[in-house]
Amino acid sequence: MKNNKSNILFIITMSLMLISIILFIYYNNQQELIDKSSKPCAVSPYLANQTQEDSLGVKYVFDPVYMWKGRSEIKIYFLDANKELANKTLLIANSWLDETNVKFVKEENLAISDIRVAFRRGGGYKSLIGNEALQFKYSGLPTMWLDDLDKQPETVFKRTVLHEFGHSLGMLHELKNPNAKFNWNEDEVRSYFKGLKWKDSDIDKNILNPPPKRVISSSFDPNSIMIYQIPSKLLKDGQAILWPKGLSKDDKYIINKYY
Ligand SMILES: [Zn+2]
């Protein structure tokens, strides 16, 4: 009898150890997959840039497939931020939503969080798009990277939080809007973005390649928070794009429309 009990205990212990090892390997593989990218801000590789225009001709680049439907709260878990930093980030992020019925709220329970923000995991600045963060493969892992952003000046902090939380609501980059009609100087583009540690494939995907033909496009909004700075030397003609200062009128319009 005693032997039987010992055997059962031994089997349970071994099973638990095996499960722990499998989970440990799984977690580390996921971490490797996600953190390898060195892009300052990146959307998921399989997401096509999609732009749309409503009947008023308002400009935006938004993918409704990834919006949070039927929500009054989107739960944010801060993996490594103190209370002050978390609250400051949420206050800025919520300016996207101040005219909607949805709010970003702080969640203390990792297991039921929707979005997980990491300030100390490297990875530059990037975010998954909208409800993509709910996919099982990201369970318990960061879905938004704000790498040491709190050590940057206030203007950079605000702009980056707005941009990344824009992605988290379903917004995509304005830069790939086909109606922007950038006349790129390819050599300069490659040299500039390689300086930011982008790979050639990232440069092609995020800048140089045209969007898929199925894209429905609006006119270009150079004031969108979903654009980043483009120095004039990267363009054969046309004006440089400056860093946006905050949410544009049309950024707010589209979020109010969908949320
Ligand atoms: Zn971005």
Distance 28 CA to ligand 1 centre (A): 25
- Give the pLDDT score at 161: 96
User: 36 alpha carbon to ligand 1 midpoint, in Å?
Assistant: 17
Report residue 116 CA to chain centroid gap: 11
Distance between Cα 167 and ligand 1 center (Å): 7
Q: How far is the CA of 174 from the centre of ligand 1 (A)?
A: 9
Compute, in angstroms, the gap from residue 54 CA to the centroid of ligand 1: 23
What pLDDT is recorded for position 2?
A: 56
Q: Tokens 């140089």 map to which residue? A: 208
pLDDT score of 100 more than 90? yes
Res. 244: pLDDT tops 50: yes
Tell me if 144 sits within 8 A of 117, measured CB to CB.
yes
The residue length of the chain stands at 259
Calpha distance 205→149 (Å, rounded):
25
Distance 136 CA to ligand 1 centre (A): 23
Find all residues with CB under 8 Å of 257, minimum gap 6, and list them: 54
- pLDDT bucket at 174, cuts 50 / 70 / 90: confident
Distance (angstroms) between ligand 1 centre and the Cα of 227 equals 7
Q: Which tens digit of pLDDT belongs to each residue from 37-89?
A: 323 464 443 333 333 333 333 445 677 778 899 999 999 999 999 999 999 99
Q: How far is the CA of 21 from the centre of ligand 1 (A)?
A: 35
d(CA 245, CA 114): 27
% helix, strand, coil for the chain, step of 5: 45, 10, 40
Residue 207 CA to residue 43 CA, distance in Å, equals 12
CB 95, CB 162: distance < 8 Å? yes
